[in-house]
A and B are shown apart, each in its own frame.
Chain A
């Protein structure tokens, strides 16, 4: 069944649907343990560790005490289970608070106080001002005589402006007493999560109303978690309750995102796992052979003649356990820990704090910071992201007369002011449309000023501009609207509102002038949505020119039109409109169709031009990130020309001759295909030239392309570093993200509005700008920032550091595990391949969990280059993008290093502690000390900067090692009793360690020095440059000064250039071109290779950490 019928105030039908108990809990007390364990064991790593831990319980094969695996395993599980439990408990508390809140509900005709959880579908709920709405209600009564109330929906969609909700027509005028007794039925769809739609009907039972079907829309609802504002009381019928409310349905756990680094670590883990299997099989074989040939002769081992059936498995399984530490159990914990610290660093970053809106950056997703450093494509919204989304009315064209062209501000244009004073009819009409045709709500503030609550910044700008031109919107109460024009009050009755949708691209209102009773249709919308509707014979040429001209200036344009309606015409249409509004199926489409029936033969009266200023630092940010090798795509709903102008202004594309725009357009499939292929060909031909090519595609062509010519477009997408997609819908934005992701690119989507949410959620990284269009995007995003310019810092500083740090941490974790594991393997050749562990259980556990995990955590404070250097040389990001610091070849380096170090430690120990000194505990402690010393120096040599924490962690850890072992050596029952004291007194112990350290680190240092000096990577060069900054600083300073001068000159020039309106093809010598020609912009080796594998191989300056 697709529908539900809600019987108002009818106790008998209540139990059909769930009550209003909200539950966000994942667990109950009973199912917590099994469910949580099940969730944790879905990870492969955890399964692996559990298997190992279980095998260790078999004493025949375990080389060490099972505690050495069970201990860490239980700790890891306990930590994450505790975290889950704590989160769940908090959810329980907040649910409980919401569930037990007292609300007024009508029961048996009387208002009663009940708990919110006891509300049932069909109950009538009363709310007072500032009450939170407990469940989804259909409004049936308010205190306001016009039948409206105001709600704040911030908790639902993040929009902070007040929204008007209206009574369904059949409920207008009911008294509170009647509302207590009201009966009826609401026919509504089954619960869904669409907070913009509620297509249903209501029929009240007698004696309340003539059996009329009354349509309901989202405007007649009060949704859960909204607040009632500016309204004394309101009451409504519960239609959706509990977890079935719109809010409850839209709650959901988003898919966890996996970073490229994580994927690489998983891949490497898999490789190590395979390696481990091979080692186990080889050693198992060797062990069994040795046992059969040699061990049987060793009478002291007393091998039985025939063992149990599993005898052949025993030795391989022992080796499996011995080698299980190859996959570090601490890796996951360490990674989670450092990742949450990266996220905190983002939250704490003072330099990304937006002082204007007082917003701090926030990392909602703590797990994907490394991906920021590997971004290859940025898909950005335009309005509100690149621009301020702070609209100001700049120019207008009324019936062919341009205003504001000289001063750049129409509000200061004397001619326009005069026209207003002189009551020029067209101008008055123009202002009237600006004032009326919108969804702005005027609210009188305490001080008596009128504030406008607008959902659209454009409308806000228009209404405010009209107010400055003496046409002030005073109040809007339900259907009546009041305007003060030059001190004269004018009343209008709003008959119908034909709402704006992204398909229609226009909105209209039907109003009745209270003075003369004329019915008017007032429309405003995009040029292509209004101009074709003009009456036959109207000259629309001037308007087209005006729109063009404004678009070249990067202004946002709207066309205004109107028409007088005849009474009959309106009546007929109104009937159809009402019907369309009350359909349940395809309502939107039907409404569209009905609206079109009215919106024709308009008299287009003018064009408004609103300026949306670029945000601070946008061109610099884009230029820097482009230098860093990141490709930009602009996805905007705006017009092509506006988009191109904004793109030019913010360095997005360069003008001719450096840049060239390629247009993909066409109305039919053939045209589009031809155009697409032409562009692709051009792109291929010119790809060798140092030219910035960009393609421009509009929503229409894109629709066809995405449906039909996906593969050709993908090819183009790979070639093109810049693209502008205009007139695109939210779902197209998301599709483009998917397309780039499918080509294996790391994508970052940045936007500020609700229309960017899907794109943000689909991208590898979603960044939301906490902007004027509400917090919707910021909430859906992984990172939220206050301004576009912080993106530079987010990527270059936080992303890059995170990547570098994780790359080191993960490889180091494998290195130290492999180191100890190789020693065990070497030892097995000296112990008859029988699977004896050289190290005791405590040492092994402490080595993994403690000695080697603590020092390396200081990597979260490591900085290879200063932030300033990175900002000045954004090209350095290439190392992160191409994954130069963590890939199979760097990993091979670490693998080799661990093999080498294991050889050094083992061979030196075995030779120095031979003969009479070869006692097991001593020898193993010498080898362990060797590992600890080596790892301390490895961390030291790989760190780039040393803070007090580094010294504390590295050298303090070394001291801790001795402290702890001396303590254990003092316990008589311990196996280690007196061992450490003995060793510390032996000169040969210290001499051996010194030897191990130097032999282990000497080649590493020599090789590193050689690479550093003679095969320097760009990072090395910059590190050196930082050191000798005195010399280079002056040059760089000069350079930047030069650039800033040019910029000033350029921006002056650009003003003039725009006036001369040369824009297509872009032959202007715009500021961007000059700057680019001078600035370092050749990406010779930084040109992103087409195939990722190419990038990994073959490049000389690979910064791998190979040692030998």
Chain B
């Protein structure tokens, strides 16, 4: 006797749930990264470079290929200060 279609409905629901959440997460990550795939396995070098990108373009994933930096670039690298302990 063939398998009734009602028995496959739960599997369909499970697959749909996984699919929707996976697709939704992928879309959210895409939107967060400006339409590109997320960067993974970032080390300190990549973090420093991405911070430099942010200083150059305003966005952590923004890219530009100008030979010369925009006007405020030389002055927008801040000193990070701690409060004195003693």
A-B interaction: no
Q: Which B residues contact A (CB, under 8 angstroms)?
A: none
Q: Chain A: residues with CB nearer than 8 A to chain B?
A: none
